[in-house]
Structure 1
Amino acid sequence: MSSIMTNAAAMAALHTLRSINSEMGVTQNRISSGLRVETASDNAAYWSIATTMRSDNNAMSTVQDALGLGAAQVDVAYTAMESIKDTLDEIKTKLVAASQPDVDKGKIQSEIAQLQSDLLTFAKSATFSGGNWLDVSGFGMQKIVASFTRDEAGNIALGTIDVDTAKTALFNSDPADYGLLEGEGNFSLGGLTVGASTASEFTPAAAPGTIELDGFTGPLSLALGDSIEFEMTYGGVTETIRIDGEDPALAIADAAGLVTHLDTAVAAAFTGFTATENSGVITITTTTPTGAAEASPVTIENLRARPGQLDILAIDITMVNDGDLAGLVDGVDRALSSVTTAASDLGAIKSRVDSQQDFVSKLMDAVDRGIGQLVDADMNEESTRLKALQTQQQLGVQALSIANQNSQLILQLFQN
């Protein structure tokens, strides 16, 4: 039925044209934005996932920056540690040189003092962005943000690489703790010697024999790891007589206090020997020589102080004897070993930071690719679709034009 009131064909053609125009608008928007899902109305689920992942990727970008900052801090600390290790090597060499006879210890000490200043300068200069892992005030954990994670429940967490400054700090201004190059203070044996040289002996006969350690003035503080020791030989047997430090530090005020500990140590090593003291002279006596031991000399040698942890900055060789120099060489060598271990730890941390930086960069790229799979428009498909819609639009306009001509045809019927 034809009607001049209702043009059904025109209505259908208009509806089709509107639909084509709508689809054309969607396609043009995808082409201009490059996104298949730009707003929540396009696809709520994909839009939600993409929005969350973009936010997480922004957080990982910040993690990447934090890793860069951490890498710089590690590099600065490691560079300083290398210089400090080399300087400790030089100090050790100077101490060995000072052990030779007829050297001017004062001049060598002047060189050591310059090297000591270098150690402190290197440690204090190892600062990046206000952080210093070699010169600290109290030990603690320094954290490098290394990862950003979200679990299946949506809970987020930050992963860190922890750096324990107790393992890297060379100096600590907190009086309760010591850095790797610090100790409770270097000590000598307070002038304690064995006779006039580095060894002394006597041969007991029927009467008691004595051997003297002269001139101890004290005081002496032995921290845990510290010791004073010497070798004692009697009857063909050599034992190390040693007084070990304690925690808290063992305080030996004077010769009488030293005898208390020596008496225990000597008696534990050799039966029948005791230690006594008279005006600072410590005498080790045997009262029971028997058999072949009667003709065997008692020898004491290699008297030395061994600090468990040396205060490198307090080394002063101008007044020390050869035994104490040996202890200082040993202490510097142990400090060098500690610094080497610390440098190794920093190297391992640096390697881990570099690895984490590479991983975070690759992970961010993977997340971007995943987001793209969800929301990016296929430009080949969209361009082809646009061409088809443009053709459909032209046909729709033509169909609407034809439908609108129906009323003109009815008018012609009345005119005829």
Structure 2
Amino acid sequence: MGTSLLTNSSAMTALQTLSMTNKKLDMTQNRIATGQRVSTASDNAAYWSIATTMRSDNKALGAVQDALGLGAATIDTMYTGLNGTVEVVSEIKAKLTAARTPGVDRGKIQSEITELQKQLKNTGDSAVFNGENWISVDSNSTSYNSTKSVVSSFSRAGGVVQIDTVTVDLEAIKLYDKKADATPLTNVVTGASAGTLVAVAGNITVQVGTGATVNVATTTTSTLDSIAKDIMKLGIDGLTVAVGGGQLQFANRASVNGAPAGVTIVLNGGLTAPAALATAPATETGKGILDKSYDAYNGTAWEVFSVANIDISKLTDNAADLAKLETYIAGVDDALGSITNAATNLGAIKNRIGLQQDFVKALVDSLDRGVGQLVDADMNAESTRLQALQTQQQLGIQALSIANGASQSILSLFRG
């Protein structure tokens, strides 16, 4: 093909090659500068879309990590508060047990108990983190919520976002509640012949709400005291049985699944069952573990007490006072069991949040690696490619220069 002044095919080819080389060089330099082979949707629309969504989810998981950290700190504070009361309540129980001994100075023992009660209240009120106190509450407050939630995970499946939480039931762990307590339903069971028990071999049937009946065996040697103790041994929460005036005395605060429940008692051996106890009290007790109301019979009437306000300073060695003291001991023991259960549950939640923190951290790292595999540039390969393209660029410039110089040789044909 001849040489043309109007069309320089060699220069055009060299120019196209140089342009392609420059584009590739620009792309490689951008990858090196950003560290990504897919930094915009134009690089790879599918990978860019996936990576953008995963980055967004990873930010949400970062917020979950923060929420877990805050929740873990709050729960740790509440757990510390609960755990700190165990030894104090045990000490109160020991003091009450010592007060059962005839002749002891119960006034002095009460002075020790009073200080322990103050320590319990101080512990409950001091367990505050970020303005939150879950063990000393006021459930009458309009802002009160008995369920606290800690964000634990963020997930996406089929395009649907789901946020999971770890919940804490404050009703199960609170030590103090400022709300007023319910008044228990009370009744008596009268014995034949003006309160004289006619004992026979048989059963006493006790049923809480619509639950299963529980039987207590009686014999010809049973007494009102033994019957009362046998019913109390059933451990029905909220039901207190005492003996007074030759009669069985009952106080009922029982509940089933958080709702007040009636107690039906069928007695034999010359006793009449308390029909009124088949009716539930108006409201269930809603106080905390330490200010929860218990019922104690003083020989003539029912009295209400809690671990927070037990006072034995005026108790004597008469039978009614000793029975009342035993009721105090039983109430403190019940509260100690409730605190132990609450601390156990909160401890389990604390451990779960710790495990979730580790998992979320590992998940964030995993998503980062996944995004990296989709969009990150291989710097070793890109650096090698950069050197090759720079060489190609230099050669392209030389080739274009040679091609452009070819047209200059035509001038020599016209020189004389």
The 5 Å alignment of 1:361-376 reads 361-376=361-376
The 5 Å alignment of 1:8-407 reads 8-138=9-139, 140-152=146-158, 154-175=159-180, 235-238=220-223, 240-242=226-228, 268-271=267-270, 311-320=306-315, 321-407=321-407
Q: Assess, with a 3 A threshold, how the Cα gap between structure 1 residues 308 and 160 changes in structure 2: closer, same or farther.
A: farther
The corresponding residue for 2:277 is none
Aligned equivalents of 1:362, 1:407: Cα separation in 2: 66
Task: Give 1:308 shift.
Answer: 12
**Superposition misfits of 4+ residues, deviation over 6 angstroms:** 208-212, 246-250, 258-262, 302-305
Task: Give 1:20 shift.
Answer: 0.5
Task: Give 1:241 shift.
Answer: 3.9
Give the 3-state SS of the residue equivalent to 2:150 in structure 1.
strand
Give the 3-state SS of the residue equivalent to 1:4 in structure 2.
coil
Task: Give 1:130 shift.
Answer: 1.5
Q: Is the 8 A contact 1:241 1:266 kept in 2?
A: no
Q: Is the 8 A contact 1:241 1:269 kept in 2?
A: no
Task: Give 1:151 shift.
Answer: 1.4
- String of CA shifts for 1:57-100, please: whole Å, max 9, x gaps: 01100100000011111111111111111110010011011111
Task: Give 1:309 shift.
Answer: 9.7
Aligned equivalents of 2:227, 2:265: Cα separation in 1: 6
Aligned equivalents of 1:340, 1:56: Cα separation in 2: 39
Give the 3-state SS of the residue equivalent to 1:143 in structure 2.
strand
Task: Give 1:249 shift.
Answer: 9.7
- Normalising by structure 1, we get a TM-score of 0.73
Aligned equivalents of 1:33, 1:333: Cα separation in 2: 67
Counterpart amino acid of residue 120 in structure 1: K
Q: Assess, with a 3 A threshold, how the Cα gap between structure 1 residues 381 and 130 changes in structure 2: closer, same or farther.
A: same
Counterpart amino acid of residue 395 in structure 1: L
Give the 3-state SS of the residue equivalent to 1:405 in structure 2.
helix
Task: Give 1:380 shift.
Answer: 0.9
Give the 3-state SS of the residue equivalent to 2:377 in structure 1.
coil
Q: Assess, with a 3 A threshold, how the Cα gap between structure 1 residues 125 and 156 changes in structure 2: closer, same or farther.
A: same
- String of CA shifts for 1:95-151, please: whole Å, max 9, x gaps: 011111111111111111111111111111111112111112226110000000111
Task: Give 1:261 shift.
Answer: 7.6
Q: Structure 1: where are the runs of 5+ without partners? A: 178-183, 188-207, 213-223, 225-232, 275-301
Task: Give 1:270 shift.
Answer: 2.7
- Normalising by structure 2, we get a TM-score of 0.73
RMSD: 3.9
Q: Assess, with a 3 A threshold, how the Cα gap between structure 1 residues 63 and 304 changes in structure 2: closer, same or farther.
A: farther
Q: Is the 8 A contact 2:239 2:250 kept in 1?
A: no
Task: Give 1:175 shift.
Answer: 2.5
Structure 1 range deviating more: 376-385 or 235-244? 235-244
Q: Assess, with a 3 A threshold, how the Cα gap between structure 1 residues 171 and 303 changes in structure 2: closer, same or farther.
A: closer
Q: Assess, with a 3 A threshold, how the Cα gap between structure 1 residues 267 and 171 changes in structure 2: closer, same or farther.
A: closer
The corresponding residue for 2:257 is none
Give the 3-state SS of the residue equivalent to 1:144 in structure 2.
strand
Structure with higher Rg: it is 1
Give the 3-state SS of the residue equivalent to 1:236 in structure 2.
coil
Q: Assess, with a 3 A threshold, how the Cα gap between structure 1 residues 49 and 261 changes in structure 2: closer, same or farther.
A: closer
- String of CA shifts for 1:342-394, please: whole Å, max 9, x gaps: 00001100010000000000000000000000000001110111111011111
Aligned equivalents of 2:195, 2:65: Cα separation in 1: 73
Counterpart amino acid of residue 58 in structure 1: K
Task: Give 1:210 shift.
Answer: 8.0
Aligned equivalents of 1:115, 1:314: Cα separation in 2: 11
Task: Give 1:269 shift.
Answer: 4.2
Overall identity of the aligned pairs, in %: 47
Counterpart amino acid of residue 333 in structure 1: D
Give the 3-state SS of the residue equivalent to 1:106 in structure 2.
helix
Counterpart amino acid of residue 406 in structure 1: A
- String of CA shifts for 1:209-268, please: whole Å, max 9, x gaps: 9879xxxxxxxxxxx9xxxxxxxx985345634499x99999x9x979x78989xx9994
Q: Assess, with a 3 A threshold, how the Cα gap between structure 1 residues 108 and 247 changes in structure 2: closer, same or farther.
A: closer
Aligned length: 339
Q: Assess, with a 3 A threshold, how the Cα gap between structure 1 residues 7 and 412 changes in structure 2: closer, same or farther.
A: same
The corresponding residue for 1:192 is none
Q: Structure 2: where are the runs of 5+ without partners? A: 140-144, 187-192, 198-208, 210-217, 252-263, 273-296, 316-320
Q: Is the 8 A contact 2:107 2:314 kept in 1?
A: no
